[in-house]
Every structure is written in structure tokens, then in C-alpha cells.
């Protein structure tokens, strides 16, 4: 009874989201700090009557606030139900075929199968960095998507490298830079959309603004590309960003200083944790994100994942070539990371 | 720079959603009453920290509550970001081709174009009712979708008629009954999913539960079909129903008596308004929904729409064959409908 297209689907597997809240949850890159004061104050005075009417389908105020934050115009902004939905709409709108790094956000190949997009994966550098040189396809100049910082490694491409790539690349082929983690120490490419009409920058409020539960993401690009994303939205669901999410987004994005402080704490905790793990002999990838991709000496990733889970700590393990020796650990509070380090010392004493 | 598939899109045009709140808004079938007490009380005590984590991707509690309400099991329930998203996922999962009535929810042909589904529209009965007899395609027995009550007419098919149709139809071809308006006086087909493995019933909380702004819809069907909808969701966006929407839905669906009272008021106001319009010589379709499809003697729908809009009242006009002589008027409060009737009397005196 299912459609033909169902034969081609292999759904994305998200990290575990146990309803049991006793875990120290370091597996899906959530922010350990609650949303900031403006969001909290808004939540205290919601008028229930606002839910009676449909949301603003143009997300006018939210897009204004995003535009102001990024130094762009509202016509350069599209918002969606998490950056997952924004990415999904981008794949629909921009890709008949696409190239992306072999090791990256594992939703990209899922979108390809969902829409029947042909995909080419590009091998990583020996250190698991993105090989931008190899991303260039001289013959076909397919559209491209890169995550920067990349997941699950946390590794970062300098803005200058991406700019050089954009200059070399076919100006008619879309380049998406997925900046889900850019706020944790990277430099955004958002400003480049004015000079590169083929560039789309995708962001999320899930991590940097402690709003994974509110589902808010956005895309920045030239007006013709944003218009195309609206056509896609209006062919799928006129109002994917609900009224409360729009209002919450406006508050979060205008509460800059407290968010900045949370991010700085996370960066400091990341560097502290990375240092401690390195002291214990772990190999840790240089990260500009809110997670660390790292491996324990003499142990594989599944062992670390399983032993930590037994001890009430969830981290993420990827059962994939070149990733099996490692785990991805989200950065929690200093106290949570201390618990992680203690557990790590305990499991290091387990017999091999 | 756009994908090939963008050539085939004609997006859905939603009813106007002006930010100017001074209009009496009777154009998109919103509920005139605020969400009920349980929702209001929940909104007063939201813990901001709950937004930090991703929502429950399985929507466990929400689906339990829906299942209890419908007398089904949670495995028979899928929930999404409004019934628009639920319908979109259904079209993806179940249709290579589909038949639907010529005059119905105008998002159906949009979904078809979005996913490349071939569509056949079936002519209406002379009174604009759905011709179930003509929906049967002896040769191909394509999947079918009908809205019951239908939009924009509000006309209703008895459950017994749909049951008879299901018995006659190919048990391998999906039949979707879109019950967005069923709570306003119709009898649901939800119970038939146990005996008809090809039946999918789609519902929304937008209208009956005053939650258009929260974006909550659901599908009821046998487990294999629900599983397919989860595969589609997990290939598109793992968490389309955000945390607050899930929590709000749980409260709304367990606040039965107050919701029932709102619905009864709307039904009473509908009957009162229909009677008054008929007294003024209007032709009014029999409605089991929260709107009236009706025409003013000697005037076309665009005239009525435009003249009412000038007077601060928004109704919906459809620029389509057989619909142009009418407007669709959502049922507001008694006071709003009184304003409508007064305006209608005024515009009746305008020169033709």
C-alpha cells in the first residue's frame, strides 16, 4: 500500500532521546544552560488567545530580528522548523545532484534519498578534515554542501578558505554552508551572501540559544534563493514555525549578552575538557563546536559509549568506517564534564 | 540555480493572515474562543529549561492521549506539525497516483505537484456534494482522499456512506479521510481503521481545539501505515512537533468538556447565522463544519468578499469555477456574526 518512493528511504537515526532524565546527556549537542532571561520572561506572560489564530506564515518579526543580527535584509532570511527542515527544503529547492564530504552530518544522504537526489561523497583528508580541494568537481560543478564546523569531528574551515573556494567555484552552482555550530568559535560566512549569489548559509538556535526543543533554524541567501524556499514551504506546509516558536526566537536572538556568556562558558569547558582528556592520553580533534570527537587509547568507541552509558552518561557513537574508534561528547556544564572525566578514569581500569 | 523539481510547483495560497488585528477574521476557520483552561494553566508554568533539550521524537505522551481519546492504541497514531504536514507525509508515503474531488482542500493538488504524484479529480454532484460513486475507479483503483466535511462547502458524507465505499473499494488502495472539521457535527471514521487496513483518518487541533497557532495534527491508521509515516518524518525532520506543542496538545485533548462547550456554541452560532442569511435570501450550503459556504442573491463572491473587507470583515473567496458566486464564512462569536449580518445588510443596498 506504500508508494514507490518509500522503497528508497533509510531514515536518519537521531541520537538517543531517553525520557529518563537521570542521564547526564552528552549525546546530541544540546546546550547545558537554560534559555536566557528574555525567553523566560516571555514564557511567563503568554496570552493563550494567541494560539487561536494561525501563525504569521511570513515569520515577519522573526526574520527581521535574524536580519538585524546578521547585518542583512529580511528578504535574505528564511526560517523553518529547526535547521533540519530548512536543510530539507534547501535540498528540495537547490539540488538535482550534490557533493558533500564522506564524514559529515548523516542527514544529508537521507535527504538525497528522500527526494531522489544523486549524491557524491568526497573523501576526507587524512586528519578527517574536509578536503575543499577535492570538493571541486571540474567536470560537472555539482552543488555542494559542507558543515562548518563539521560534525561529528568539530573541525573547522577558516572563512578565508571557504571564500577562496567560492571564488573558484561555478557561480551557478549552489554552495550551502551549514553553520549549526558556528557560534562556538568559528567565523560565519553569512556576510558573503551579498557577493556570492550561489551561497546559502544555514543556522540553528538549537545549540547556541538553548532552544533544541523549540525547533528554530534559518537560511541566509540572496532574495531569489529565499523566494524559492518560500515556494517550497508553501507547497509543503504553510505554517511550519508555530506562533510560540516565532515569539521565542525573537526573544532569544535579541538577548545577545547572556547567550554570549553561555557560549563562552561552553567554549571554556570544551577547552578544559579537551586538555584533561589529552592528559589521560586521549586523542582529541581540534573543535570549534560544542562537542569533542575523541578516542580513548586502546579502546574503541563502542566500548566507551557502552561503559559510559552503564554509568549514566550518554555520549554518541557512530558505527561507520573511520569513526568507530571514537565517540562524540557534547559539552555540558563544568560539573557534568567532571563527572564524565571521573567515569572515564574508572572505565580506563576495566579489563580489555 | 534551482532544481528541476522547482519547475512543477504552484504553491498553496493560504487565506490572508493580516498582522492588523482590527479585522473581524472569518476567513481561515479559526476558533473564536481561546484555548481551554488546562492549556492556559500549562502556559502559566512552563519551565524554560524544557526547551533546552530536543523534543520527544516519538511524541509518546501526545500519541497516548490521542489514542485514549479515539479508543485506539498509540501505535495507531502519528502526529505532525499541523494536519498540513501530516497530509504532506501521507501523500509522500501512500500515493503514486491519487483521486480526489474536484472541489476540495486546495492543498491536495499542491502536494501532488510537490512529490510528482499523478492526480485525477472527480466531478462533484450537481449540489457540490462529493460523488463517492464517481470516486470509484474500476480499472485502476487508485488511492483516494476525501475531506469530510468537505471544504470549502462544509458538506458532509454520512459515516455509513464512507463505510459502504470502503467495503466496495480495493483493500490494497489507501483511502484517506481528512476530518479537519469532523468535530463540528460529523461522525468520525476513526473506529473503522481496525477493520479497514487501507484507511487513514487525518485530524487537526487547529479548529476544534483553538490551536491553529500551535500546529498540531494527527493521523490514525493501522500500525504498518503509521510506521511508514514515521519513516517519512525521520527522513525529513526528526522533531517536527516541538516540545511546547506536544505539551499543549496533551492538555487540550484532555480538556474535553470545555472544548465540547466551545464547539456547541460554534454549532449553535452556525445554525443561527445560516438561518439569518437564508432569511435575507442567501443560498447557504448545509454545513457540518465551522464555516458556511454561501452566496448573496444577485452578487458574486468577489463583490461580497471585497465589500466586507472594506468594512473590516475578512471572509474567503475562491476564484474557481463553480465557487465564484459564493464566499466561505468562518463561524466566529455570536457578536462577530451579528456584525457580519449588519454589514451584509449594508452591502445589499450597494448599487449593482
The rounded distance, in Å, linking the Cα atoms of B30 and B27 is: 8
Q: Is the pLDDT of residue A140 over 70?
A: no
CA-based nearest residue to A247, from A31, A48, A87, A32? A48
Q: Which of B17, B55, B225 sits opposite A56 (nearest CB)?
A: B17
pLDDT confidence bin for A170, thresholds 50/70/90: confident
Do the chains contact at A9 and B243, CB–CB below 8 Å? no
Q: What is the pLDDT of residue B131?
A: 96
Question: Cα B183–B236–A114 angle (5° rounding)?
Answer: 120
Question: Is B213 in contact with A32 (Cβ distance < 8 A)?
Answer: no
Cβ-based neighbour number of residue A194 at 10 Å: 13
Q: Domain locations in chain B?
A: 4-34+257-348, 37-255
Asked if B292 and B317 count as a contact pair (C-beta separation under 8 A), the reply is no
B48 contact residues in A (CB cutoff 8 A): 34-35, 39-40, 43
Smallest CA–CA separation between B344 and chain A, in Å?
Answer: 24
Chain-chain contact of B49 with A55 (C-beta, under 8 angstroms) = no
Q: State the cell numbers at A121.
A: 561523497
Residue of A nearest to B34 (CA): A49
How close, in Å, is residue B17 to chain A by CA atoms?
7
- Asked if B238 and A12 come within 8 Å (Cβ–Cβ), the reply is yes
Closest CA to A145 of A192, A97, A77: A97
Which of the two residues, B253 and B168, has the higher pLDDT score?
B253
A81 vs B contacts (CB less than 8 Å) = 81, 237, 240, 242
Question: Distance (Å) from the C-alpha of residue A39 to the closest C-alpha of chain B?
Answer: 7
| φ and ψ of A301, to 5 deg | -65, -35
Chain A CA closest to residue B45: A44
- Search chain A and give the residue with CA nearest B232: A11
> Is it the case that residue A139 has pLDDT exceeding 80?
no
Chain B partners within 8 Å of A53 (Cβ): 17, 25, 30, 212-213
- Is B212 in contact with A53 (Cβ distance < 8 A)? yes
Could A49 and B43 be called an inter-chain contact, meaning their C-beta atoms sit closer than 8 Å?
no
Using a CB-CB cut-off of 8 Å, the residues of chain B touching A211 are: 51-52
Helix (H, G, I), strand (E, B) or coil at A219: strand
- 3-class secondary structure, A255: coil
Residue-wise burial string across A251-262, b where 16 or more C-beta atoms lie within 10 A, e elsewhere: bbbebeebbeeb
What would the mean pLDDT of B120-131 be, rounded to a whole number? Answer: 96
Give the pLDDT of residue A171: 87
Pairing outcome for strands A283-284 and A217-220: unpaired
Q: What is the mean pLDDT of chain B?
A: 96
Q: What is the mean pLDDT of chain A?
A: 96
- B82 vs A239: CB contact, 8 Å cut-off? yes
pLDDT band at A67 (very low <50, low <70, confident <90, very high): very high
Nearest one of B47, B54, B244, B75 to A17, comparing CA atoms: B54
* Phi and psi at residue A65, to the nearest 5°: -65, -40
Which cell numbers in the block locate residue A129?
A: 578534515
Q: Taking each helix axis as running N to C, give the angle between helix A334-348 and helix A301-310, from 0 to 180 degrees, rounded to the nearest 10.
A: 110
Instruction: Show the cell assigned to B33.
Output: 474562543
Q: How close does chain A come to B227, measured CA to CA in Å?
A: 11
Q: Cα torsion at A300, A306, A307, A308 (round to 10°)?
A: 110
Q: Residue B162 and residue B136: Cα distance in Å, rounded?
A: 12
- A265-278 average pLDDT score: 98
- Chain B residues with CB under 8 Å of A10 CB are 235
pLDDT digits (tens, 9 = 90+) for B38-62: 999 999 999 999 999 999 999 999 9
Q: Which of B92, B212, B213 sits opposite A3 (nearest CB)?
A: B92
Average pLDDT over residues B63-70: 97
- Residue in B94, B115, B242 closest to A2 by CB: B94
Residues B200-233: tens digit of each pLDDT: 999 999 999 999 999 999 999 999 999 999 999 9
For residue A53, what pLDDT is reported?
Answer: 95
B286 burial (CB, 10 Å; 0-12 / 13-18 / 19+) is middle
Which are the contacts of B283, defined by CB distance < 8 A and separation ≥ 6? B294, B295, B297, B326
Give the span between the Cα atoms of A242 and B142, in whole angstroms: 34
Q: Which of B36, B34, B15 is nearest to B25 (CA)?
A: B15
Q: Return d(Cα A159, Cα A192) in angstroms, integer.
A: 10
Interchain CB contacts (distance < 8 Å): A and B: 254
**pLDDT value, residue B34:** 97
Q: Rounded to an integer, what distance in angstroms lies between the CA atom of residue B251 and that of residue B22? A: 30
What pLDDT digit, counting tens, does each position of B285-332 carry? Answer: 999 999 999 999 999 999 999 999 999 999 999 999 999 999 999 999
Put simply, the answer to whether B88 touches A240 (Cβ < 8 Å) is no
Please count the CA atoms within 13 angstroms of the CA of A207 that sit on its side-chain side: 27
At A267, the pLDDT band (50, 70, 90 cuts) reads very high
Quick check: B3 and A92 CB within 8 A? yes
- The mean pLDDT of A172-190, rounded to a whole number, is 97
CB-CB under 8 Å, B215 with A242: yes
pLDDT-wise least confident of A30-44, A90-104, B127-141, B156-170: B127-141
- State the pLDDT at residue B67: 98
Angle at B293 between CA B288 and CA B299, to 5 degrees: 160
Paired residues of A78 in beta bridges? A219
Q: What is d(CA A119, CA A129) in angstroms, rounded to the nearest whole number?
A: 20
Q: What is the mean pLDDT of residues A209-238?
A: 98
User: DSSP 3-state assignment of B176?
Assistant: strand
The runs of H, that is alpha helices, within B218-325 are 223-233, 243-253, 256-279, 301-310
B241-268: average pLDDT: 98
Pairing of strands B144-147, B118-122: unpaired
Instruction: Name which of B4, B81, B244 is nearest A240 (Cβ-Cβ).
Output: B81
Mean pLDDT for B60-82 is 98
Check residue A285 and give its pLDDT. 97
- Is the pLDDT reported for residue B139 higher than 70? no
The cell for A248 is: 521565542
**Shortest distance, CA B53 to any CA of chain A (angstroms):** 5
Which chain A residue's Cα is nearest to B143?
A1
β-pairing verdict for A77-80 and A217-220: antiparallel
Measured CA to CA, the distance from residue B290 to residue B181 in angstroms comes to 7
Out of B11, B30, B117, whose CB is closest to A53? B30
Considering all CA atoms of chain B, what is the largest pairwise distance in Å, rounded to the nearest integer?
61
Match 532570511 to its residue by C-alpha cell.
A77
Asked if A327 and A302 count as a contact pair (C-beta separation under 8 A), the reply is no
Residue carrying C-alpha cell 530580528: A65
3-state class (DSSP) for residue B197: coil
How far apart are the two ends of chain A, measured CA to CA in Å?
Answer: 49
Q: Mind telling me how many Å the CA of A282 is from chain B's nearest CA?
A: 28
Q: Which residues pair with B180 in a beta bridge?
A: none
Q: Specify the pLDDT at position B305.
A: 98
* CA atoms of B205 and B214, how far apart (whole Å): 9
| Phi, psi angle pair for A280, to nearest 5° | -85, 10
Report percent pLDDT > 90 for chain A.
92
Half-sphere exposure of A260 (CA within 13 A, CB side): 4
Maximal CA-CA distance, chain A: 61
CATH of domain B37-255: 3.40.640.10
For chain A, helix, strand, coil in percent to 5 are 40, 15, 45
Beta bridge partners of B316: B328
Q: How far is A339 from chain B (nearest CA, A)?
A: 20
Q: How far apart are CA B194 and CA B220, in angstroms?
A: 10
Q: What is the pLDDT of residue B220?
A: 98
Query: Each residue of A112-125: pLDDT tens digit?
Result: 999 999 999 999 99
Share of chain A above pLDDT 70, in %: 99
Pick the CATH number of B4-34+257-348 from 3.30.565.60, 3.40.140.10, 3.30.70.520, 3.90.1150.10: 3.90.1150.10
Least confident of A134-138, B29-33, B154-158, B301-305: A134-138
Structure confidence at residue A169 as a pLDDT band (50, 70, 90): confident
Contact B244, A213 (CB under 8 A): yes
Q: Do B240 and A11 touch (CB under 8 A)?
A: no
More confident residue, A96 or A19: A96
Q: Which residues of chain A make contact with B57, given a CB cutoff of 8 A?
A: 14, 17
Asked if residue B91 has pLDDT above 90, the reply is yes
What is residue A210's three-state secondary structure? coil
Q: Record the cell numbers describing residue B159, joined without a space.
A: 459515516
B198 contacts in A (CB within 8 Å)? 1
Amino acid at each position: 500500500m506504500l508508494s514507490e518512493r518509500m522503497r528508497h528511504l533509510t531514515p536518519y537515526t537521531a541520537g538517543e532521546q531517553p525520557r529518563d532524565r537521570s542521564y547526564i546527556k552528552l549525546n546530541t549537542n544540546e546546550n547545558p544552560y537554560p534559555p536566557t532571561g528574555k525567553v523566560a520572561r516571555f514564557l511567563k506572560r503568554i496570552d493563550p488567545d494567541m494560539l487561536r489564530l494561525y501563525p504569521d506564515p511570513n515569520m515577519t518579526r522573526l526574520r527581521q530580528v535574524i536580519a538585524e543580527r546578521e547585518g542583512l535584509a529580511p528578504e535574505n532570511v528564511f526560517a523553518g522548523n529547526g535547521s533540519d527542515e530548512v536543510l530539507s527544503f534547501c535540498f528540495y529547492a537547490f539540488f538535482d545532484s550534490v557533493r558533500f564530504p564522506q564524514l559529515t552530518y548523516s542527514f544529508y544522504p537521507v535527504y538525497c534519498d528522500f527526494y531522489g537526489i544523486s549524491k557524491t561523497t568526497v573523501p576526507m583528508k587524512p586528519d578527517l578534515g574536509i578536503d575543499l580541494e577535492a570538493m571541486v568537481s571540474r567536470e560537472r560543478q555539482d552543488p555542494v554542501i559542507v558543515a562548518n564546523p563539521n560534525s561529528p569531528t568539530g573541525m573547522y574551515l577558516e572563512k578565508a578558505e571557504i571564500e577562496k573556494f567560492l571564488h573558484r567555484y561555478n557561480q551557478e552552482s549552489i554552495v550551502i554552508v551549514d553553520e549549526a555550530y558556528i557560534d562556538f568559535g568559528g567565523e560565519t560566512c553569512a556576510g558573503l551572501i551579498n557577493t556570492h549569489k550561489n551561497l546559502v548559509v544555514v543556522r540553528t538556535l538549537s545549540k547556541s540559544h538553548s532552544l533544541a526543543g523549540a525547533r528554530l533554524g534559518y537560511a541566509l541567501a540572496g532574495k531569489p534563493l529565499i523566494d524559492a524556499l518560500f515556494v517550497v514551504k508553501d507547497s509543503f506546509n504553510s505554517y511550519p514555525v508555530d506562533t510560540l516558536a516565532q515569539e521565542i526566537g525573537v526573544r532569544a536572538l535579541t538577548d545577545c549578552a547572556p547567550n554570549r556568556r553561555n557560549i563562552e562558558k561552553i567554549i571554556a569547558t570544551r577547552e578544559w575538557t579537551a586538555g584533561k582528556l589529552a592528559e589521560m592520553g586521549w586523542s582529541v580533534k581540534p573543535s570549534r563546536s560544542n562537542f569533542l570527537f575523541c578516542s580513548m587509547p586502546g579502546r574503541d568507541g563502542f566500548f566507551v559509549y557502552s561503559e559510559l552509558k552503564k554509568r549514566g552518561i550518554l555520549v554518541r557513537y557512530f558505527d561507520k568506517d573511520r569513526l568507530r574508534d571514537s565517540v562524540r561528547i557534547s559539552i555540558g556544564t563544568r560539573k557534568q564534564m567532571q563527572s564524565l572525566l571521573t567515569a572515564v578514569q574508572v572505565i580506563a581500569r576495566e579489563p580489555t
